[in-house]
Amino acid sequence: MISALMDGVVLGLQYGLLGVGLTLIYGLAGVINLAHGQVAVMGAIVVSLAMEADVPAVPAILIGLAAAAVFMLLVDATLMRAVYRQEGESRILLGLLIMLGVGFVIDGVLEWRYPIQQLGLRIGGEPIPILGVPMSTGSLLATAVTVVIGLVLVVFFRSTALGRGVRSVIQDEQGAMLVGIDPARVRTFVFGLSGLLAALVAVTRAMTGPVGVSSTISFTILALIVAVVGGLGSVSGAFAAGVLLGVVDRLSSFYIGTYVTTIILLLCAAITIVARPAGLFGRSH
Amino acid sequence: MTGVSGGAGAPRLLQVAGLSAGYSGEDVVHDVSLHVDEGEAVTVIGSNGAGKSTLFRAIMSLVTPSSGTVTFDGNDVTTTATHRITRMGLAYVPAERHLFGDMSVAENLLLGSYPRRPDPERLAMVYDVFPRLAERRNQHARTMSGGEQQMLAVGRALMSKPKLLMLDEPTTGLSPLLATEAYRALAELKAGGLTIVVAEQQVPLALELAQRGYVLENGRFTLEGTTDELADDPEVQRAYLGVA
């Protein structure tokens, strides 16, 4: 039970980080990125290919993160141009469909060229007991990385001009323009950041188990559920929802079975939409 | 009447020439020309729907003009992006304010100086003009009263150290007392050398603040002159000053 809880927190923090990338793009651009998990796994595959080419682990990871970030920057600069010209419902639908297509393309390419390529990062060392539960060094490292990046994000959004700029565009795009912020540049930045964070989650997941093309869709679905439960556009909400859903995930697979976890998580998202449409941390206006 | 202005020979800050603009191909503002010289306070008066907001939005490139030009501080800004116009020194406070409701007063003010670091002297000056904002600096903008939000909107605009402050109906939703208070602050800023353009339905307050004014009706200027001339005009008296 405690071990399932701890696993849930470890997993949940990573779910949170996965949701942050999705929620930021929705908040800024009104685009639901249905290729989020695909971009994450693509980054992980790049890392594994680099490591096979004898690049040491840390530089290989940086290459993978950069690849995912650059990919998202290119999406923003090309495919999304058509989306940004639309308003309201047609913008959301067009963005969703285009990103669904991008996801299929990434899936297709990965299945065609790298069907059995996987990223697994074995972290050596004996399990370390935390609250009496032996935690693998991989889990602990993944958690540490996620927590550090989460804190960096909090500081970034609270205390830097660019971070405040991102939040201002999410809250009121016209207000942002009137204080001298270029929403298009902020959007471009957030696309890159989102790709980087997605790939980072795939890398931390690889510290506890292999990540390959079979993980893409579940990553996307998880990111979507986390973003909905946390409130679309809310970074702190995404982390809180991630931890909550991680715990729900582990407990339901511990008491019932792995086969129901996704259904239970989807149920959580559905209940959130009915009970608190703006998410845990969102405000209904 | 075009020769009348604040300081003789003061440099021209804003020049709008033959501007027409509107929405979905239909012009709301027709062939409007106005100018503002450094140090002046100028008002655009007109009833609801006369086109004041559209005129200001067109100056800020928030709507694309169908014809005409806007020149600010010697540069043609007719098609310049809104955020660039702001950075050039034209700060616009729309009637809807567009504050960042989920951020504190202090954060809204910090964003006002984006992308530069906020100037502590400027921040002190804003808190000096609006002591209320200093008291509420940690409060979320969304939870403040209409009058306080208006102060914050003006304060945020001042943080960019603008050369010209352009306000659209700053008294919207304010009680008569708060409206008077808002104009007291504007008069203080004007005395400090700030150039101001204000669109207003509360005509007496605007005429008192400004030296010159334009009357906008159905998207066209029907009258312009010194505020004394406007206040003496029978048509202005009848339509805007409640004189029978």
What is the pLDDT tens value at each position of chain A, 285 positions in all? 788 888 899 999 999 999 999 999 999 999 999 999 999 999 999 999 999 999 999 999 999 999 999 999 999 999 999 999 988 899 999 999 999 999 999 999 999 999 999 999 888 788 888 888 888 899 999 999 999 999 999 999 999 999 999 999 999 999 999 999 999 999 999 999 999 999 999 999 999 999 999 999 999 999 999 999 998 778 888 999 999 999 999 999 888 888 888 888 888 888 888 888 777 766 543
CA torsion, ordered B100, B206, B88, B125, to nearest 10 deg: -70
- pLDDT score recorded for residue B3: 45
At CB < 8 Å, which residues of chain B contact A?
60, 62, 81-84, 86-87, 91-94, 97-103, 107, 110-112, 114-117, 156-157, 159-160
Task: Note the pLDDT of residue A259.
Answer: 81
- Tell how strand B41-45 and strand B212-217 pair up: parallel
In a domain, B239, yes or no: yes
β B26-37/B12-23 pair status: antiparallel
In a domain, B134, yes or no: yes
Q: Which of B165, B230, B234, B167 has its CA nearest to residue B4?
A: B230
Instruction: Tell me the shortest Cα–Cα distance from A177 to chain B, in angstroms.
Output: 5
Picking from A165, A171, A180, the nearest residue to B160 by CB comes out as A180
Ordered by start, the domain boundaries in chain A are 2-123+132-275
- Residues from chain A that touch B155, judged by Cβ atoms under 8 A, are none
Distance of CA B120 to the CA centre of its chain: 24
Cβ contact B82–A178 (<8 Å): yes
Residue A236 sits at the chain B interface (C-beta within 8 Å): no
Cis, bond preceding A56 (omega within 30 deg of 0): no
CB-nearest partner of A164 from B94, B97, B107: B107
A179 touches chain B (CB under 8 A): yes
What average pLDDT is seen over chain B? 92
Contact with chain B for residue A209, Cβ under 8 A: no
B172 & B242 share domain: yes
Q: How far is B115 from chain A (nearest CA, A)?
A: 6
Q: Considering B110, B127, B161, which residue would you say is the last residue of a domain?
A: B161
Q: What's the mean pLDDT in B205-209? A: 94
Task: Please name the helix (run of DSSP H) or strand (run of DSSP E) that holds residue B125, with its range, or none.
Answer: helix B120-129
Contact A181 B114 (CB under 8 A): yes
- pLDDT per residue as tens digits for the range B181-196: 999 999 999 999 999 9
Helix axes A183-205, A2-29, angle to 10 degrees: 160
Query: Considering the domain boundaries, does residue B66 fall inside one?
Result: yes
Q: Which of B98, B110, B116 sits opposite A178 (nearest CB)?
A: B98
Residue at B69 is within a domain: yes
- The CATH fold assigned to A2-123+132-275 is ABC transporter involved in vitamin B12 uptake, BtuC (1.10.3470)
- Smallest Cβ–Cβ distance between B86 and the set A168, A178, A183 belongs to A178
B114 & B152 share domain: yes
Judge if B131 and B177 occupy the same domain.
no
Considering only alpha carbons, which residue of chain A is nearest residue B103?
A168
Give A-chain residues touching B115 at CB under 8 angstroms: 161-162, 165, 180-181
CB contact under 8 A, A178 and B99: no
Cross-chain Cβ contact B112/A161 below 8 Å: no
- Cβ atoms of B213 and B224 within 8 Å: the answer is yes
The pLDDT assigned to B231 comes to 92
Assess whether B156 and B175 both reside in one domain. no
Which of B111, B150, B154 to mutate to test binding with chain A, by most A CBs within 10 Å of its CB?
B111
- Tokens encoding A51: 């490591």
Same domain (yes/no): B61, B36: yes
Chain A residues in contact with B111 by the CB 8 A cut-off are: 164-165, 168, 176, 179, 181
The verdict on residue B206 lying in a domain is yes
**Domain residues for B25?**
11-89+165-244
Residues B17 and B56 in one domain: yes
Q: What's the structural domain count of chain B?
A: 2
Kindly report, residue by residue over B88-119, the tens digit of the pLDDT. 999 999 999 999 999 999 999 999 999 888 89
How large is the C-alpha radius of gyration of chain B?
Answer: 17
Which of left, alpha, beta for B199 (phi over 0: left; psi -120 to 50: alpha)?
beta
Residue A233 pLDDT: 76
Task: Provide the pLDDT for residue B72.
Answer: 98
User: What number is the ipTM of this complex?
Assistant: 0.91
Of B161, B184, B207, which residue sits at a domain end?
B161
Shortest distance between the Cα of B2 and any Cα of chain A, in A, equals: 30
What is the Cα–Cα distance from B100 to B116, expressed in whole angstroms?
A: 18
* Maximum alpha-carbon separation in chain A: 56
Beta-carbon separation of B111 and A182 below 8 A: no
Is residue B124 in some structural domain? Answer: yes
Cα–Cα nearest to A285, from A177, A134, A171, A183:
A171
Please classify residue A152 by burial: count the beta carbons closer than 10 Å to its beta carbon, then call 0-12 exposed, 13-18 middle and 19+ buried.
exposed
Burial class (CB in 10 A: 0-12, 13-18, 19+), B121: exposed
Provide the CA A125 distance to its chain's centre, in angstroms.
28
Which pLDDT does position B244 carry in this prediction? 55
pLDDT at B2: 45
Let me know whether B72 and B190 are in one domain: yes
**Rounded-to-integer distance, Cα A267 and Cα A264, Å:** 5
Closest residue to B111, CB basis, from A168, A183, A283: A168
* Same domain? B188 vs B144: no
- Could you give the count of Cα atoms lying within 13 Å of A128 in the half-sphere of its Cβ? 9
pLDDT above 70: residue B1 = no
Angle, vertex CA A120, rays to CA A117 and CA A125, nearest 5: 160
Token readout for B136 is 């509420």
pLDDT confidence band for B121 (50 / 70 / 90):
very high
Q: What local confidence, expressed as pLDDT, does residue B116 receive?
A: 86
B81, B91, B157: residue with CB nearest A182: B81
Long-range contact list for B80-87, CB < 8 A, 24+ apart? B81/A177, B81/A182, B82/A177, B82/A178, B83/A176, B83/A177, B83/A178, B83/A179, B83/A180, B83/A181, B83/A182, B83/A183, B84/A180, B84/A182, B85/B59, B85/B60, B85/B61, B86/A177, B86/A178, B86/A179, B86/A180, B86/B160, B87/A180, B87/B160
Q: Report chain A's terminal Cα–Cα distance, integer Å.
A: 39
Q: Which residues pair with B214 in a beta bridge?
A: B44, B224
**A52 burial class (0-12, 13-18, 19+ CB within 10 angstroms)?**
exposed
Whether B229 maps to a domain, the answer reads: yes
Q: Is B2 inside a domain boundary?
A: no
CB contact under 8 A, B98 and A172: yes
Contact A283 B100 (CB under 8 A): no
To 10 degrees, what angle do helices B120-129 and B146-158 make?
Answer: 150
For residue A270, the model assigns a pLDDT of 87
